[in-house]
Chain A
Amino acid sequence: AAGVIQSPRHLIKEKRETATLKCYPIPRHDTVYWYQQGPGQDPQFLISFYEKMQSDKGSIPDRFSAQQFSDYHSELNMSSLELGDSALYFCASSLVRGLAGGGNEQFFGPGTRLTVL
């Protein structure tokens, strides 16, 4: 079965540079979520999109922005990178449309490991 695809898998950037992470959800999934996981930490929610519209926002820095495109893929744009941005960035997708009061299994991609030097 197709899974969530993320690219690149590894990214090394210098401080103050920009980075763009891409996510391709499972086909027919309508919701995309972005999470950040620092070393030894639990994943923290950043932002989500349902049917290409932002649906929820978490602790995402103003330096970060994201969008979901017409083909449902999503991109997380990160500017003015800081050392503390070094983390694993996960994208997850779920199928919400048609569910009534349940579901919401979120399936995660392999993550992008961002290292800021």
Chain B
Amino acid sequence: SQQGEEDPQALSIQEGENATMNCSYKTSINNLQWYRQNSGRGLVHLILIRSNEREKHSGRLRVTLDTSKKSSSLLITASRAADTASYFCATDFRTNSKLTFGKGITLSVRP
């Protein structure tokens, strides 16, 4: 069964705007990670947030985690055309377990 479900499925914004993508999951998790994938290419690790953390920052990225609602959000501030990609959230239930991916959000940043 699908674990992470991203919301919205597609997002189109103007360069310089902020982009917010949401992810929900169904079962208890150990960590939640966000990945970026340019069309047909590899998955780039963006950020990991642990189940006991509520917010984490990395450069222009801000991730929040609400375990009571089983949801996470990824905020990209001051977006750039180069941020155009698909974004996936992925969860695991223990340290060396598999990742369960959601469906992905397609972000288009217009120059």
Contacts and interface: CB of A to CB of B under 8 A. Distances in A.
A42 B98 CA distance: 14
Interface of B: 30-31, 33, 35, 40-45, 48, 50, 88, 90, 92, 95-104
Contacts of A105: 33, 45, 48
Interface centre among B31, B41, B88, B96 (most CB of A within 10 A): B96
Contacts, number: 69
Contact of B95 (A43, A58, A104): A104
Interface stretch (A11-19, A63-71, A74-82, A88-96): A88-96
A25 interface: no
- Leading 4 A-B pairs by shortest Cβ distance: A45-B98, A42-B101, A96-B96, A108-B43
A106 B40 contact: no
Contacts of A48: 96, 98
B101 A106 contact: no
Given A42-B88, A104-B92, A109 B42 contact: yes
Contact of B48 (A33, A55, A101, A104): A104
A111 B88 CA distance: 16
A90 B97 contact: no
Nearest to A46: B98
B102 A42 contact: yes
Given A55-B96, A104-B92, A108-B45, 20 more contacts: A31-B96, A35-B99, A42-B101, A45-B100, A50-B96, A56-B97, A56-B98, A58-B98, A88-B40, A90-B42, A99-B95, A101-B30, A101-B95, A102-B30, A102-B31, A104-B48, A104-B95, A105-B33, A106-B99, A109-B42
Nearest to B53: A102
B46 to A, nearest CB: 10
Contacts of B95: 96, 99, 101-104
A73 interface: no
